[in-house]
């Protein structure tokens, strides 16, 4: 009597929850774990859940799935599209969508646990399943660690995790070494002086200050980073003003920065701060901008040997050509914290969710970027099959590779 994974996925997709608000999701997970007869610890890192299959002596393998959704208004037109809304940290009512596939992560994890349980006689050791909240804030892993997840379960010998991505369904993407970038999220408050929209000379216009800052920040990547190196300076949000005829007193920028390693992080951060402060001076601001860090994510670095073992195991299981090197991703993850904190290897891989024919067709026309919705897009919509099955299998094969 197995879990109906398709129904489970659709239910999760219909009920996305913002970071650290995944209470319903945690409830669904806990219920399924209970049905499987597994131990359940809830409330780790506010809304996180963890469980374990303890199956005699042997290695301890941690599997991690994240479970939060995003403030995106779904536009997929799917029958099961989300119409959910939530309250973001600023108190704003926003649409919510599983635009990054974490619903699929949870689904595959539960499927894998059921399979591993059903095949307990084929392996020994311990599998720890971590359902992590707030990956999108880059804060959930550390919150679970702060709540003692590493003490309450057997320490890992290896940490494994997977992420849905716009590769063809059936394909796994992984590479040894840096798999995902380091990243920081910054908030920049630019302080001007407000006043009437008809009297700009009596104000210090923070909208113009913000616009000039955004334009100048572009030059960090375009002129100051070695063209062969990876760096991203995204201004993901800009907000100032409530009314056309009032010049507001301040503007807020939200930045997402990406780099391959910690040296580049320090370098880019210094450049961002230099630009922000100078542009405030160019505006004649009388108060310094306030720069604060929202989150800081390490690079996701795959252990070389462990990755090689997994690639071989998957190719055996899924056939030649089923595993590709997707290159380094410029996105970031907080999964590393579990492995870093425990001082053990990590392998983090991607698996595809795009209809293979659609992918091949777009690829042939050089239209991948235009036609295949990426993670965080309002159109992000994995095909259900074989995405679910491959997600389950990839986890099971990987866990079994490191279990006795």
Closest CA to 2 of 136, 86, 107: 107
Q: Can you tell me the distance from the alpha carbon of 359 to that of 368, in angstroms, rounded to the nearest whole number?
A: 7
Residues 264-323 that bind its own copies (CB under 8 A): 271, 274-275, 277-279, 281-284, 294
Q: Is residue 100 a known part of a binding site?
A: yes
Tell me how many residues contact its own copies (CB under 8 A). 94
Q: Give me the 146-185 binding string for its own copies, x by CB under 8 A, dash otherwise.
A: -----------------------------------x-x-x
CB of 63 to its own copies, least distance (A): 24
CB of 276 to its own copies, least distance (A): 9
Residues 382-401 that bind its own copies (CB under 8 A): none
Residue with tokens 């945690």: 26
Residues 123-142 that bind its own copies (CB under 8 A): 136
Q: Is residue 98 a known part of a binding site?
A: no
Q: What angle do CA 78, 381, 133 make, to 5 degrees?
A: 110
Residues 7-46 that bind its own copies (CB under 8 A): none
CB of 200 to its own copies, least distance (A): 4
Q: Give me the 329-348 binding string for its own copies, x by CB under 8 A, dash otherwise.
A: xxxx----------------
Contact 107, 388 (CB under 8 A): yes
Q: Is residue 32 a known part of a binding site?
A: no
Q: Is residue 239 a known part of a binding site?
A: no
Contact 308, 176 (CB under 8 A): yes
Residues 186-245 that bind its own copies (CB under 8 A): 186-187, 194-203, 205, 207-208, 210-228, 230-245
Size (the chain), residues: 404
Name the maximum alpha-carbon separation found in the chain.
78
Q: Rg of the Cα trace of the chain? A: 23
CB of 248 to its own copies, least distance (A): 7
CB of 220 to its own copies, least distance (A): 8
Angle between helix axes 387-402 and 102-118 (nearest 10 degrees) is: 50
CB of 86 to its own copies, least distance (A): 11
Q: Which of 378, 383, 386, 397 binds its own copies (CB under 8 A)?
A: 378
- Would you list the DSSP string of 13-27? HHS---TT--HHHHH
Q: What are phi and psi of 52, to 5 degrees?
A: -150, 150
Contact 246, 203 (CB under 8 A): no
Residue numbers in the known binding site for Mn(2+) are: 100, 102, 136, 163
């Amino acid at each position: 009597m197995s879990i109906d994974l398709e129904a489970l996925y659709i239910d999760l997709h219909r009920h996305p929850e913002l970071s650290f608000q995944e209470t319903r999701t945690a409830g669904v997970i806990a219920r399924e774990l209970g049905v499987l007869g597994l131990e359940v610890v809830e409330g780790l890192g506010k809304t996180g859940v963890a469980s374990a299959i303890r199956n005699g002596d042997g290695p301890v393998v941690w599997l991690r799935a994240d479970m939060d959704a995003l403030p995106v208004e779904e536009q997929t037109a799917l029958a099961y599209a989300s119409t959910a809304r939530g309250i973001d940290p600023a108190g704003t009512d926003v649409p919510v969508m599983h635009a990054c596939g974490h619903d699929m992560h949870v689904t595959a994890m539960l499927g894998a646990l059921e399979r591993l349980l059903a095949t307990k006689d084929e392996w020994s050791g311990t599998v720890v399943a971590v359902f992590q909240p707030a990956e999108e804030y880059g804060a959930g892993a550390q919150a679970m660690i702060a709540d003692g997840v590493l003490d309450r379960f057997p320490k890992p010998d290896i940490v494994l995790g997977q992420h849905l991505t716009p590769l063809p369904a059936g394909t796994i993407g992984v590479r040894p070494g840096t798999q995902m970038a380091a990243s920081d999220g910054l908030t920049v408050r630019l302080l001007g002086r407000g006043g009437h929209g008809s009297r700009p000379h009596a104000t210090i216009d923070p909208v113009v200050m913000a616009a000039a800052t955004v334009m100048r920040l572009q030059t960090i990547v375009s002129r100051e980073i070695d063209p062969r190196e990876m760096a991203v300076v995204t201004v993901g949000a800009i907000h100032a003003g409530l009314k056309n005829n009032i010049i507001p007193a301040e503007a807020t920028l939200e930045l997402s920065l990406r780099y391959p390693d910690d040296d580049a992080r320090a370098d880019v951060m210094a450049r961002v701060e230099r630009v922000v402060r100078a542009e405030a001076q160019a505006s004649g601001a009388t108060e310094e901008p306030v720069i604060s860090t929202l989150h800081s994510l390490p690079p996701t670095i795959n252990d070389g040997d462990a990755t090689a073992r997994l690639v071989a195991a998957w190719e055996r299981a899924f056939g030649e050509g089923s595993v590709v090197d997707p290159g380094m991703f410029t996105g970031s993850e907080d999964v590393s914290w579990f492995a870093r904190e425990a001082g053990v290897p990590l392998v983090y891989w991607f698996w595809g969710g795009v209809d293979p024919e659609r992918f091949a067709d777009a690829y042939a026309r050089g239209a991948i970027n235009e036609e295949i919705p990426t993670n965080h897009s309002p159109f992000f919509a994995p095909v259900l099959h074989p995405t679910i099955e491959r997600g389950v299998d990839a986890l099971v094969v990987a866990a079994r590779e490191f279990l006795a």
